[in-house]
Amino acid sequence: MVPVSVFLLLLLSFVVVVCAQSNGTRISTGSSLVAGSFSVQAWRSPSDDFAFGFRNVDNNNDDLFLLAIWFYKVPENNIVWFAKEKDNNPVFAPRGSKVELTATSGLVLRNGNGGEIWKSEPITASVAFGSMKDTGNFVLVDSINGSIWESFSYPTDTLLPTQKLEVDGVLSSRKSQGNFSLGKFQFRLLRDGNAVLNTINLRSGFPYDAYYISNTHDSASSQNSGRQVIFDEQGFLYVLKRNGEQSNITQPSVGNPVEAYYYKTTMNFDGVLSVSSYPKGIDGDANGSWKDLFRIPDNICMAMRGELSSGICGYNSICTLNDDQRPRCKCPTGYSFMDLNDTYSNCVANIPQICEEGAQNSTDDLYSLQELPNTDWPMLDYERYNPFNAEECKKACLLDCLCVVAVYRDNTCWKKKLPLSNGREDSKEISVSFLKLRRNTSSTGKPQDGFPIPEGKKNQQTLIVVISVLLGCSLFVILILASMICWGFISCNKKKLAAGDIQPSESFESNNLCQFTYKELREATNGFKEELGRGSCGIVYKGRIKTGVVAVKQLDRVFEDSEKEFRTEVNVIGQTHHKNLVRLLGYCNEGRYRILVYEFMSNGTLADLLFGDRKPSWNLRTQIAYGIARGLMYLHEECDKQIIHCDIKPQNVLLDEHYNAKIADFGLAKLLKMDQSRTETGIRGTKGYVAPDWFRSAQVTAKVDVYSFGVQLLEIICCRRNGDMNDFEGGQELLVDWAYDCFQQGRLDVLVEEDLEAMDDMRRLETFVMVAIWCLQEDPSQRPTMKRVTWMLEGIAPVSVPPNPNPFTSNC
């Protein structure tokens, strides 16, 4: 097979120009990387195990990047280091930021305007070059090969094999798995020689009592105290003492040899320090995952101690261990999380317990006691009774208006008041808790049975609640603003509102879509006069409303009898916000009319651009491909409910005035019943773009979009239409088959018709073609996910040589 070997040679010749030495990739001074610019990719270690570069980590904002080091071949949880501030918070670099390796200051990170936002410090000598090592360490070296600065000396939340933590060294957790902001857990080596786990006060940084101590402090002789925490090359974690002795933190692990597994030690966001491994050599979407080999402490819920701080979970919360031995926080019955989206936030009682003046005792009719077996709040008692039986204990709490919970164990009763901390539920816990809950008397309307709330006070309370809701709930403010915008500027239903017969709640959905009448839209489009295009679901007209030009899409008659589904789906579409998706502004759902109003895209469709007279530049084409990939990734992975587009093609990608690609018509597939959409061709799924499994399998998965994206990616690369038979030399082939043949023969130049710009960017061209062929695999399970596709295109994950997409239909 001459062609294949020629191709492999070609491939090798494009692999990093810099040469590998002493198991590190040499980065010369003057080299730089730019955040969000894919022309310069990451700096990779010789083995490709690690990469250094920019990573977008915020699902809601793809313009913010971390300067990071990651496991290049591991698809999930792969970031092991990132540039951070002195206070351990990550440095977020906006798109366009540039990191440059300089001789005088080492790595310097500047934002797009040239302002310095981070640099490697301290740099004491002139830097000769940088080196990305196979260990995951990025090292700056001086002219006599001495290390001046290394990323291993400034760990974030992870240690890699051969990395050490010196005295005063810290690993700090993140806020959550996906939020890299500073979290409250630390792993530290203290000056007294102990390695500890502790929480901190996030405002002041004050460390609270340790919940794990290595016991490597010897008060009699400092020689026996810990000097370093070492994560050795075998993935074994221990404290090295000054006298050379080892004090093991983990046990030697069996069955996961370092040759076959990646290792890391992580200070996890949930407070557990773990040593975990990931099998090497698993590529793509295959089944690998990080597996905990050791967790410290064994049972974090039971390990927490100390009088200060809330513990692992928030105040009034209860910590329990999941099956995977990781903690989970829950609120007791009758309590809810203050931030419903954050299970680490504090819990508050749904009905607050109030101590009234002159009423020292609380009573049965106002309060009930809930028994929580195996549950304890171990700290901060204010009363203790012994000997007491359980009944006496319950009664003591019930009748005491300060008491919130009574804990009972071994004939002893402890009373506790708010806020409760370090709550835990565990089968090893022998305490029983009696939680006092105020009964919901609002239905009977007779709270005055027990404690009459003075009228004035009641009003005061209501007022405070209203004000704090108004001030605190920014969502509410946003909603008001949003509806004001809809109301005032777009002025949908303006006449009716003026007439007062429509409530705002009817005209504005919660996602601030505007509802238009058919009449309004007819006026806006001048009687549906100027046609912008005919899509698969209907005709699009140009229109003008108060805020500007819009695209008005009148849906086909197929949608006529689906009023309720229409409303549901429109709301789903209205909740999507991504810069690579065409924004839905409003809709009309009146009688038999189903009309959608979108933002107007001044540069037309991608089809017009690609297949028009003037071929767009390679650079623009690649930017468009990145945009579509990101938009699809968002639809597949980041929406509340996954949205499968089902009709990805260049006619459904629009370009705004800056030529940003935006996907149109998403969310409409759901509106058509599936069998209907499959048989009535021309409505859903366009010939040439539809995956073979679309016709075969009962269930349509997101992988059909991946296939269509693959076709489109080839069209973007070649500026040719798939299925445009006459365009091709042989005259008989589909673009897809032709592209694979060219690829196999190492003739990528033919694919781009010797486009010089693309030829100069051969590495990326090759990446794009290989990714496209992966997407076009006949077997859907072989196709990567859109997330993986995006990562491969951006160069933050490796691409291997793809197999023949149609193994059963050979073209030879």
Ligand X SMILES: *[C@@H]1O[C@H](CO)[C@@H](O)[C@H](O)[C@H]1NC(C)=O
**Closer CB to ligand X, 22 or 104, in the complex:** 22
What's the CA angle centered on 337, arms 335 and 341, to 5 degrees? 150
Single residue of 351, 379, 380, 497 touching ligand X by CB under 6 A: 351
Distance (Å, whole) CA 151 – CA 478: 42
Helices (runs of H) and strands (runs of E) counted in the chain: 19, 45
* Residues 217, 434: Cα–Cα separation, whole Å: 40
User: Are the CB atoms for 383 and 412 separated by under 8 Å?
Assistant: no
In angstroms, the first-to-last Cα distance of the chain is 14
Pick the closer one to ligand X by CB: 378 or 574: 574
Distances (CA, A) of 79 to 155, 248, 588: 12, 26, 46
Residue 258 interacting with ligand X (CB under 6 A): no
What is the smallest separation between the CB atom of 437 and ligand X, expressed in angstroms?
10
Segment contacting ligand X by CB under 6 A, of 175-183, 385-393, 576-584, 771-779 = 175-183
Q: Cα(636)–Cα(650) distance, rounded to whole angstroms?
A: 19
Binding test (CB under 6 A) with ligand X, winner from 164, 175, 326, 583: 175
Cβ neighbours of 144 (radius 10 Å)? 7
66 or 492: CB nearest ligand X? 66
Instruction: Pick one of 5, 13, 28, 60: the residue that binds ligand X (CB under 6 A).
Output: 60
Q: Contact letters (x/-) for ligand X, 87-106, by CB under 6 A?
A: --------------------
Least distance between ligand X and beta carbon 339 (Å): 6
Q: Which stretch binds ligand X (CB under 6 A): 246-254, 274-282, 684-692, 760-768?
A: 246-254
Tokens 């693309």 sit on residue: 758
CB of 387 to ligand X, least distance (A): 18
3-class SS at 103? coil
Question: In the Cβ-directed half-sphere of 560, how many Cα atoms lie within 13 Å?
Answer: 5
Q: Which is nearer to ligand X, 344 or 774 (CB)?
A: 344
Amino acid residing at 795: G
CA-CA distance, 519 to 503, in Å (whole number)?
A: 19
Footprint of ligand X on residues 513-572 (CB under 6 A)? Answer: none
Residue 248 engages ligand X in binding (rule: CB under 6 A): yes
| CB 144, min distance to ligand X, A | 5
One of 5, 21, 243, 459 touching ligand X (CB under 6 A): 21
Under rule CB under 6 A, residue 474 binds ligand X? no
Residue pointed to by tokens 């164990």: 409
Contact between 745 and 729 under an 8 Å Cβ cutoff? The reply is no
Q: DSSP readout, 231-277? A: E-TTS-EEEEETTS-EEESSPPP-S--TTTEEEEEEE-TTS-EEEEE
370 counts as binding ligand X under rule CB under 6 A: no
> 450 vs 538, which CB is nearer to ligand X?
450
Contacting residue, 2, 12, 144, 812, with ligand X by CB under 6 A: 144
The distance of closest approach from Cβ of residue 45 to ligand X in the complex, given in angstroms and rounded to an integer, is 11
Q: CB-side exposure of 491: number of CA atoms within 13 Å?
A: 12
Question: Residue 787 carries which side chain, given as an amino acid letter?
Answer: K
Quickly list DSSP for 57-82. --TT-TTEEEEEEEETT--SS-EEEE
Q: How many residues bind ligand X (CB under 6 A)?
A: 27
Q: Which of 204, 322, 341, 679 binds ligand X (CB under 6 A)?
A: 341
Nearer to ligand X by Cβ, of 89 and 603: the residue is: 89
- Give the three-state DSSP class for 146: coil
**Using CB under 6 A, which of 48, 58, 429, 608 touches ligand X?**
58
Looking at the Cβ atoms of 92 and 516, the one nearer to ligand X is 92
By CB under 6 A, which span of 174-182, 208-216, 641-649, 745-753 interacts with ligand X?
174-182
**Contact between 287 and ligand X per CB under 6 A:** yes
Q: Tell me: does residue 402 bind ligand X (CB under 6 A).
A: no
CA angle 689/695/698 to nearest 5° reads: 130
- The secondary element (H helix, E strand) that includes residue 136 is none
Q: How far apart are CA 93 and CA 740, in angstroms?
A: 38
What is the per-residue binding string for ligand X in 294-333, x denoting contact by CB under 6 A?
Answer: ----------------------------------------
Contact 639, 573 (CB under 8 A): no
Q: How many CB atoms lie within 10 A of CB 454?
A: 11
**Pick from 68, 48, 65: nearest CA to 57:** 65
Closest CB to ligand X among residues 23, 325? 23
Of the two residues 145 and 676, which places its CB atom closer to ligand X in the complex? 145
Looking at the Cβ atoms of 519 and 577, the one nearer to ligand X is 577
CA 125 distance to own-chain centroid: 39
For residues 90 and 174, what is the distance between their CA atoms, to the nearest angstrom? Answer: 9
Closest CA to 795 of 44, 98, 289, 17: 44
- CA atoms of 303 and 679, how far apart (whole Å): 61
Measured between alpha carbons, how far is residue 702 from residues 174, 418, 636, 643 in Å? 31, 49, 7, 8
Q: Does 350 bind ligand X (CB under 6 A)?
A: yes
Candidate list 13, 28, 333, 440; residue touching ligand X; CB under 6 A: 440
Select the span of 15-23, 109-117, 655-663, 803-811 touching ligand X (CB under 6 A): 15-23
- The stretch among 91-99, 266-274, 440-448, 525-533 that binds ligand X (CB under 6 A) is 440-448
Nearer to ligand X, 175 or 721 (CB): 175
Q: How many C-beta atoms lie closer than 10 Å to residue 386's C-beta?
A: 9
If one asks whether residue 642 binds ligand X (CB under 6 A), the answer comes out as no
The per-residue b/e assignment along 31-55, b for 16 or more CB within 10 angstroms, e otherwise, is: bebbbbebeebbbbbbeebbbbbbb
Strands 514-515 and 584-590, sheet pairing: parallel
Q: How far apart are CA 601 and CA 604, in angstroms?
A: 6
Minimum gap (Å) between residue 398 Cβ and ligand X: 9
Among 442, 726, 781, 810, interactor with ligand X by CB under 6 A = 442
* Residue span binding ligand X (CB under 6 A) among the ranges 6-14, 18-26, 414-422, 549-557: 18-26
Give min distance, CB of 686 to ligand X, in A: 33
Q: Is-catalytic flag, 760?
A: no
181 near ligand X (CB under 6 A):
yes
608 vs 633: CA distance, rounded Å: 24
Minimum Å gap between C-beta 58 and ligand X is: 5
Applying CB under 6 A, which of residues 7, 65, 70, 236 lies at the interface with ligand X?
Answer: 236
Please state the separation of Cα 478 from the chain's center in Å: 23
Write the interaction track for ligand X spanning residues 733-772; mark x where CB under 6 A is met and - where it is not.
----------------------------------------
Residue number, 454 or 488, with CB nearest to ligand X: 454
Amino acid at 2: V
* Gap between the Cα atoms of 520 and 595, Å rounded: 11
Q: Considering beta carbons, is residue 435 or 648 the nearer one to ligand X?
A: 435
Selected from 252, 445, 682, 731, the binder of ligand X by CB under 6 A is 252
Q: Which of 22, 126, 411, 811 binds ligand X (CB under 6 A)?
A: 22
Q: Which stretch binds ligand X (CB under 6 A): 270-278, 334-342, 450-458, 685-693?
A: 334-342
> Which one of 647, 665, 693, 755 is the catalytic residue?
647
One-letter amino acid at 67 equals: L
Position among 145, 325, 510, 811 found at the interface with ligand X (CB under 6 A): 145
In the complex, the smallest distance separating the C-beta of residue 340 from ligand X, rounded to whole angstroms, is: 4
Q: Is 361 in the site for ligand X (CB under 6 A)?
A: yes
Where does this chain bind ligand X (CB under 6 A)? 21-23, 58, 60, 144-145, 175, 179, 181, 236, 246, 248, 252, 287, 339-341, 350-351, 360-361, 399, 440, 442-443, 475
Known catalytic residues?
647
